[in-house]
Amino acid sequence: MVDADLWYQRWMAGRHRVIERALDDLPCRPSGVVLDVASGDGTFTAQVAARTGGRAVAQDRGAQECGMAQNAGCRAVRGDTRRLPFGDETADVTVAFEIIEHFDGYEAAAVVDELHRVTKRGGTLLLSTPNRFALESLKGVARYLVNGTVWNARDETHVKLYSKRELVSLLRRRFDVQRVFGYYLTTGPRERRLPGTYMVTANPLLSQVCFILLVVAKKREAASP
């Protein structure tokens, strides 16, 4: 078995790598705002802001999370993700890592609308979520057949999971999707690491079976209907 702390360190290192890949050639004015929605402790907020040169603003519902984000060097604002406490076109770069899977389909669409509202025209959205059809979901199918347990991508708070195609379709209502990355392929027997376990890829075939999907999208310059 892989030590839990070591597994987490490798997982986090891979998360940082995929964000770096997603930010390649991403322009952001030094005075621009990087807004991280449901930011948690602000670790990734600070990374995106440092990489783009923007000013980090973190939003979360919890006081504890906002406190941690402030400790990470971000301005933190408490508020509801479904009704973000920011004006229209606030952010040059909007970040939403692993949040939409916590809402049902209707609410997820409303969250995307809010992400669109607070992003400047021509601005960038970075959004990630677990993949409904990841290779690891095959383990979930096996468990379902044995005991009826529905696969939830390792988190009981997940309400709805998306495939790559479904995720792109959801975002295209409001944004122009530019790139889709996949991260974390699968573990081996008994959670042992295999070559490619913590891979980061934009390959269309491989990315659609990775555990996490990360989309880079642009808000259209023209006003959306």
pLDDT of amino acid 154: 85
Domain presence at residue 109: yes
Domain presence at residue 110: yes
213 close to 162: Cβ distance less than 8 angstroms: yes
Instruction: Single out the residue of 123, 93, 92, 97 nearest to residue 111, CA to CA.
Output: 97
pLDDT of amino acid 27: 60
pLDDT of amino acid 2: 55
Q: How far apart are CA 149 and CA 14, in angstroms?
A: 28
DSSP per-residue letters across 38-62: T-TTSHHHHHHHHHHT-EEEEEES-
Pairing of the two strands 91-97 and 33-37: parallel
Residue numbers of the chain with a pLDDT score lower than 70 = 1-4, 25, 27-31, 188-191, 223-225
- Amino acid (one-letter) located at 44: F
Specify the residue for token string 């390649």. Answer: 24
Dihedral angle of Cα 203, 205, 208, 209, to the nearest 10 degrees: -110
pLDDT of amino acid 19: 92
The CATH number of the domain holding residue 161 is: 3.40.50.150
Dihedral angle of Cα 21, 171, 85, 122, to the nearest 10 degrees: 70
User: What does the pLDDT look like over 86-118, one tens digit per residue?
Assistant: 999 999 999 999 999 999 988 999 999 999 999
Specify the residue for token string 């959004």. Answer: 127
Domain presence at residue 146: no
Domain presence at residue 17: yes
Domain presence at residue 67: yes
Q: How far apart are CA 169 and CA 175, in angstroms?
A: 10
Domain presence at residue 118: yes
Give the count of domains, the chain.
Answer: 1
pLDDT of amino acid 28: 57
Query: What is the span of the domain harbouring residue 48?
Result: 4-132+156-182+213-219
Domain presence at residue 203: no
Domain presence at residue 202: no
pLDDT of amino acid 189: 66
